[in-house]
Amino acid sequence: MDFSLTEDRRMLSDSLNRFISDKYGYDHRVKVAYDAPFHDTALWAEMCELGVLYALAPEDAGGFGGAGFDITTVFEALGRGICPAPVLGSLLASKLLTAAGADQSALLDGSVRYAVAIGELDAPYDLDAIETEAKDGKLTGRKAVVYGGADAKVFLVAARSGGTLAVYEVKASDAQVTGYALIDGGGAAELFLDATPGTEVLADATAALEDALDAGRLALCAEAVGAMDATNEILLDYLRTRKQFGVAIGKFQALQHRAVDLVTEIEQARSITILAASKMGAEEQAKFVAMAKTLIGRAARLVAEEAIQMHGGIAMTWEAAVSHYAKRLVMIDAQLGDVDYHLERVIATYAA
């Protein structure tokens, strides 16, 4: 039993945390996160030089990581710094390209930005309900809220082909892409496909898609843990310094006990994320990832709502950092399966 990070991961964590706090500081983050391309492309290149993307891919795919704890190390730092860089799309794409045995050197060095288009308006999480269709190398359908899609050069698109799901590579320049900012910062896009040419990357891709999604879900859990830690620090600092009735509001038991409950939930969230990370690649991966995403969905929303409430009016302002963390924490639930979706997956394991 060892709950410390390996030397390599600790170094990656330290350098990424330092990079984000030095260069992607809060003011800069807010400035770039809501205007196209919704992140800082110069910093993207620098981040890639740090090896962030290589850490997400296994050695035989050209990376130097790819394990559950590599993913959590990177995303916890991104969450802590509420970084809008489109790393999630890169992770999902790297997973799919690894499954396909395809070359991904341009993805890993950051020179070609990928996004992965799976969800649709009426199929935000369910692979079974996907309607986008591929016929003779042409794709038709609409992909909704494609993370990092606003300035991606290449899309990996899940589409129905005959009776199975397959993954196609579609050039952004061949499709109609409507990019936009998300309410919690960072970019996404609607991808409209109308007999748009695509190259098959993976046939019969359901298992590979689920595996990539699990990696993405784990990443989001870790991102939430980082963001919850940061939110909690901001909150505690506020409770210690904000005075009302002549005392720091942290002296009031009505707030103290709620603050303790948040810490309790955050520790549980950290624990279930560690557990899910340890199960990546194991038979029980899907079950534990579903458990983690369920707990995280709930904990993150609680932390967000309570942090706003305990701050009071100031948390309602754009200027306060806590408001941006709260938005990120709430909206993470809607990414790659919410509480209800994953709770159903857990319940499904009770059958028999």
Partner 1 sequence: MDLSFTKEEEAFRDEVRTFLADNLPDDLAEKVRIGGELEKHDMERWHAILNDKGWLAYGWPVEFGGTGWSPVEKHIFEEEAARANAPRIVPFGLAMLGPVLQKFGSKEQQDHYLPRILDGTDWWCQGYSEPGAGSDLASLKTRAVRDGDEYVINGQKTWTTLGQHADWIFCLVRTKTDGKPQEGISFILVDLATPGIEMRPIKLIEGGHEVNEVFFTDVRVPAANLVGEENMGWTIAKFLLGHERTNIAGVGFSMKALEEVKALARRTKRNGKPLIENPLFAARIADVEIELEAMKITNLRMLYTAQTQGAPGPETSILKIKGTVIRQALNDLARRALGPAAAPFPSEAMFGNAALVEAGDVNNAADYFNNRKLSIFGGSNEIQRNILTKAMLEL
- Residue 32 Cβ, how far from partner 1 at the closest point, in Å? 33
Of 171, 278, 323, 327, the residue at the interface with partner 1 (CB under 8 A) is 278
Rounded distance between C-alpha atoms, residue 199 and residue 197, angstroms: 7
Of 59, 174, 261, 305, the residue at the interface with partner 1 (CB under 8 A) is 261
Rounded distance between C-alpha atoms, residue 241 and residue 260, angstroms: 17
Q: Is 142 exposed, middle or buried (0-12, 13-18, 19+ CB in 10 A)?
A: middle
State the DSSP string of 290-312. Answer: HHHHHHHHHHHHHHHHHHHHHHG
Of 3, 254, 283, 318, the residue at the interface with partner 1 (CB under 8 A) is 3
Q: Name the token pair of 194.
A: 């109308």
Toward partner 1, which CB reaches closer, 164 or 241? 241
Half-sphere exposure of 266 (CA within 13 A, CB side): 23
Burial letters for 100-109: b for 16+ Cβ neighbours within 10 Å, e otherwise?
A: beeebeebbe
- Residue 113 Cβ, how far from partner 1 at the closest point, in Å? 30
Toward partner 1, which CB reaches closer, 166 or 277? 277
Q: Is 260 one of the binding residues for partner 1 (CB under 8 A)? A: yes
Q: Is 309 exposed, middle or buried (0-12, 13-18, 19+ CB in 10 A)?
A: exposed
Q: Is 254 one of the binding residues for partner 1 (CB under 8 A)? A: no
Q: Is 338 one of the binding residues for partner 1 (CB under 8 A)? A: no
Q: Is 206 one of the binding residues for partner 1 (CB under 8 A)? A: no
Stretch that binds partner 1, among 25-33, 171-179, 199-207, 246-254 (CB under 8 A): 246-254
# residues near partner 1 by CB under 8 A: 41
Stretch that binds partner 1, among 45-53, 54-62, 81-89, 273-281 (CB under 8 A): 273-281
Stretch that binds partner 1, among 37-45, 191-199, 202-210, 270-278 (CB under 8 A): 270-278
Of 51, 110, 250, 337, the residue at the interface with partner 1 (CB under 8 A) is 250
Of 26, 64, 69, 192, the residue at the interface with partner 1 (CB under 8 A) is 69
Contact by Cβ (8 Å): 87, 110: no
- Residue 253 Cβ, how far from partner 1 at the closest point, in Å? 8
C-alpha pair distances (Å), 36 with each of 47, 84, 150, 299, 308? 19, 12, 8, 31, 28
Q: Is 13 one of the binding residues for partner 1 (CB under 8 A)? A: no
Q: Is 104 one of the binding residues for partner 1 (CB under 8 A)? A: no
Toward partner 1, which CB reaches closer, 293 or 324? 293
Mode of pairing for the β-strands spanning 138-147 and 133-135: antiparallel
Q: Name the token pair of 86.
A: 């489109």
Q: How many CB atoms lie within 10 A of CB 128?
A: 8
Of 18, 31, 135, 257, the residue at the interface with partner 1 (CB under 8 A) is 257
State the DSSP string of 100-125. Answer: HT---HHHHTTSS-EEEE--BTTBSS
Of 27, 246, 313, 350, the residue at the interface with partner 1 (CB under 8 A) is 350
Return residues touching partner 1 (CB under 8 A). 1-6, 69, 236, 239-240, 248, 250-251, 253, 256-257, 259-261, 263-264, 267-272, 274-275, 277-278, 288, 291, 294-295, 343-344, 346-347, 350-351
